[in-house]
Amino acid sequence: MTHIKKICLLAVTGLLAGFVITSCSNQEIFSNTNPSVVPKDLSDVFKWRMTKDASPKREAITIAEDWRSLTPDSSHYAVWVGHATYLINTGDVTLLTDPIFSKRASPVGWAGPERLIPPAMTLSQLPPIDAVVVSHNHYDHLDLPSLIALQKANPDMVFLMPQGDKALLESKGLNNVSEFRWWETQKVNETTFTFTPVQHWSGRGITGRNTSLWGGWFLTGPDLSIYHAGDTGYSKDFLTTKARLGKPDVAFIPIGAYKPRWFMRNQHADPAEAVQIALDLETKKAFGMHWGTFILTDENISEPPVMLAEELVKRDLEPRFFTAPKPGEVLTLKPKF
Ligand code: ZN
Ligand code: ZN
């Protein structure tokens, strides 16, 4: 859902002459499928900062080296590189989701959230990449230095971006960029990529809030259907996605960045809600992400997988239905789990 907002820039020129030029442009503003869910404002950010106890302790989760067993002939696998970055091979395409290999999730290299762990694989250790999908423009999901390095190594690679982000990539010299509204599709090889609604927001600075879209990616390929939720709160969007596109074989779902709940609930699912997202999608298998890589919120670093396991027990679900893999672990993607 969108509306057009008139954005006016005041260009004060010739102050001595005392005149002001105003230039206005029509700027599209995006909203959630539930339009009452809007980004928190600065007073809420201030309240969070003022009421917050200590920050979580920095700790490094265990990284696996299993990815080293992959060969150019390997197929049907996924590797969690860290945060929302998954390397995925479907047997038809090799892609990266929300690739971030930088030390910080920030517009600058010297401030902002710093990685707790290095990427499980470096950029030079990746196989050839056909496509990159990005869920939204927050710095922990749209990392320009990573995108630039990836296209340098893979000149034919395509970028599938939310509506409103294409110009940013092209301004950095990147090619083969497409942008998508919800439910729009593009084929890469034999796989159809569809951009789907989730509940979140966008913005990379003080201005420009919700001027680009956010969403999840649903891939329908010859052997497998795969869903990547990006960054999301719990909403009815996942039931709609299943109704329109079917049940995915595999779903990658965020399980971190959820405390304090009064602030985060609308934008970040907690592990219990992540399980509900997996159930709403009726996916055969779910894998966690968006934890253990940066400190963005107040929960302890190692809490999300513990809460995830507890939720599965509470609901009498098999532990293997939804797991939180180690970075670097090789996950086998099969049409039937
Ligand atoms: Zn985000
Ligand atoms: Zn995020």
Q: Where are the domains of the chain?
A: 2-332
Per residue in 162-214, pLDDT (tens digit) is 999 999 999 999 999 999 999 999 999 999 999 999 999 999 988 899 999 99
Looking at all shown ligands, the one closest to residue 266's CA atom is 1
CA–chain centroid gap for 169, Å, is: 17
The CATH classification of domain 2-332, taken from the options 3.60.15.10, 3.30.379.10, 3.40.50.2000, 3.30.2130.10: 3.60.15.10
Q: Is the pLDDT assigned to residue 329 strictly greater than 80?
A: yes
CA of 199 from ligand 1 middle (Å) equals 10
CA of 231 from ligand 1 middle (Å) equals 5
CA of 23 from ligand 1 middle (Å) equals 30
CA of 13 from ligand 1 middle (Å) equals 37
Nearest to 134 by CA among 60, 90, 83: 83
Q: Say what the pLDDT of residue 158 is.
A: 98
CA distance 266 to 251: 20
Q: Say what the pLDDT of residue 4 is.
A: 62
pTM of the model: 0.93
Looking at all shown ligands, the one closest to residue 200's CA atom is 1
CA of 256 from ligand 2 middle (Å) equals 9
Q: Is the pLDDT assigned to residue 247 strictly greater than 50?
A: yes
CA distances from 245 to 49, 111, 228 (A): 40, 41, 13
Q: Going by DSSP bridges, is the β-strand pair 216-220/225-228 parallel, antiparallel, or unpaired? A: antiparallel
- Residue of higher predicted confidence among 53 and 66: 66
CA of 199 from ligand 2 middle (Å) equals 12
Looking at all shown ligands, the one closest to residue 254's CA atom is 2
Looking at all shown ligands, the one closest to residue 198's CA atom is 1
